[in-house]
Structure 1
Amino acid sequence: MLPEPGLYTARGKRIAKIRGKVGLCFVAALSFLAGMTDAVGFTATGDFVSFMSGNTTRLAVSISHGDTQAMLGITALIVAFILGNALGVIVARLVNRRSWPLLLCVALLLCLAALMPTQLIVLLCAALSMGMINAVVEEVNGLPIGLTYVTGALSRFGRGLGRWLLGERKPGWRVQLVPWLGMLIGAVVGALLQNRFGIAALAINGLVAAGLGTASLIIPRRWQRTYMPK
């Protein structure tokens, strides 16, 4: 495969740097939304809608306690999250790797969740949306990015710190804090919103998702294609 024209010129490097900064700002905003959504779901119901590591642990505990109802509910959330990831990739391909249609789907699911009459359906809609959002950005300038989970980001940051302490000066490891900070701040905001509005706060999250979809229209199309799944 031939390299992108101008990739190794000063102008090409400058464009790549700007593309990386824009991508990281987008990642921070999307992680903020994921943190908001997970915090609303967790503080309202005690269940996670994007943190599947936590749900896996909770599933194991419910199995050990023989709690069939909890087992089925948590399993349904994990399955919904997996299906959301799959659906996100499919939609991304169908819309030729554009961000706004995916974010519109996320917005609609979150607004729908806020209107659902039963807790399980609320959580399933939210988990499906959080699975889909992972297809909006998968990497930035070759660096892997996770939007709805930060364990991997913190692990990559820690390994990068270890290499830096050993004298290696490889770039990129510091940016792994971006999704972590985005999710942390978003979770604080989400918890505050849930305290005030209850599960209906998911509608506000839907509006945020719609706003991010609109904002994504100003990101050059060719840049979006590098962020999204191939």
Structure 2
Amino acid sequence: MLPSSTSLRTNPGLLRREKWRGRIGLCLVASLSVLAGMTDAIGFMATGDFVSFMSGNTTRLAVAISDADLALSLHLVLLVATFIAGNALGIVVSRFGGRRALPLLLCIATLLCAAAAWPFEQQLPALLAAIIAMGMLNAAVEEVNGLPVGLTYVTGALSRFGRGLGRWMLGERRNGWRVQLVPWSGMFAGAVLGAVLEQHLGLAALFVSGLLSALLGLLSLKIPHRWQLGYMPR
């Protein structure tokens, strides 16, 4: 539970801790968004399918259905269903791991490295492993100091930023809307990096994503567990 605004005003030490929790949480969000953007770009360039951007796959599914392309429609249904399963699995792993980021991120790292090691001629298993990993990633952070954030999708972040900008233009001074650019910036930077890596390494670039996930998991050991409880889904 987050402290009340009254307790924050009357306790400077608590206020400082809340600020640090927010800053560290946003750093974690930015880092995980880089991982998501990198993985999505690698998967898309190597296979032609989105790994974390299910809005794109949903639109492609609708077009495939309108074209009566049964094979592509079934393929895209499988991708979307796999992403949903990955989100569910992320919650399960998070709960069994005591709602700590390390077990979750190590599982994600294992899946990404397995996808990178899979024979290139058989892309579908590698693609599904990467999609499960990106679904699981959403269980790593759900909110920071009460502000909702997304890791593998940025449409919601841009929408929240735009609505906050509109309120600011009308003279309302609400807090938090600017931080929605953090996941967008992280995902954009990660996608650029992922595109460069894929051009040089192909699908094997997912090894870099796996190593980054493992590194972030180890770094998460420095984050107090009570803070992680506030970041992760309940």
Q: Which residues in structure 2 correspond to 1:127-166 (within 5 Å)?
A: 127-166=131-170
Q: State whether residues 37 and 190 of structure 1, in contact with CA within 8 Å, keep that contact through their aligned partners in structure 2.
A: yes
Length, aligned pairs only? 230
Give distance in 2, aligned partners of 1:72 and 1:103: 30
For structure 2, list consecutive stretches of 5 or more residues without a partner in the other structure. none
Could you tell me which amino acid in structure 2 is paired with residue 116 of structure 1? Answer: W
Distance (whole Å) between structure 2 residues aligned to residue 74 and residue 114 of structure 1: 21
The sequence identity of aligned pairs, in percent, is: 64
On the 8 A contact 1:59/1:70 being kept in 2, the answer is yes
For residue 95 of structure 2, the aligned residue among 60, 78, 93 is 93
SS at 2:206 equivalent: helix
Superposition TM-score, scaled by structure 2 size:
0.95
Query: Which segments of structure 1 move beyond 3 Å, counting only runs of 4 or more?
Result: 1-4
Task: Name the amino acid aligned to 2:17.
Answer: I
Pick aligned residue for 2:225 from 221, 225, 228: 221
Task: Tell me which amino acid in the other structure corresponds to 1:203.
Answer: F
Once residues 67 and 24 of structure 1 are traced to their aligned partners in structure 2, the CA distance between those partners, rounded to angstroms, is 42
Counterpart position of 1:170: 174
Q: Which residue of 2 aligns with 1:59?
A: 61
Shift of 1:7: 4.5
| Residue aligning to 1:123 | 127
Give yes or no for contact 1:73–1:120 (8 Å, CA) kept in 2: no
**Cα shift readout 1:6-59 (whole Å, capped 9, x = no counterpart):** 655111111101100000000000000000000001111110010000000000
Q: Deviations over 1:195-221 (max 9, x none)?
A: 000001011110010000011110111
Residues 79, 141 of structure 1: alpha-carbon distance in 2 compared, 3 angstrom cutoff: same
Q: Which residue of 2 aligns with 1:10?
A: 12
Does residue 220 of structure 2 align to residue 200 of structure 1?
A: no
Deviation at 1:2, TM superposition (A): 9.8
Task: Compute the displacement of 1:96 (Å).
Answer: 1.2
| Larger displacement relative to structure 2 (62-71 or 95-104) | 62-71
Tell me the TM-score normalised to structure 1 length: 0.97
Give per-residue Cα distances to partners, 1:44-102, cap 9 Å, x unaligned: 11100100000000000111111122111111111111011001111111111100000
Q: C-alpha separation between the residues in 2 aligned to 1:2 and 1:97?
A: 17
Confirm or deny: 8 A CA contact 1:136 1:227 kept in the other structure: yes
Unpaired segments of 5 or more residues in structure 1? none
Confirm or deny: 8 A CA contact 2:94 2:101 kept in the other structure: yes
Once residues 2 and 59 of structure 2 are traced to their aligned partners in structure 1, the CA distance between those partners, rounded to angstroms, is 46
Rounded Cα–Cα distance in structure 2 between residues aligned with 1:139 and 1:2: 11
Question: Partner of 2:48 in structure 1?
Answer: 46
Q: Does the CA-based 8 Å contact 1:140-1:226 persist in structure 2?
A: yes
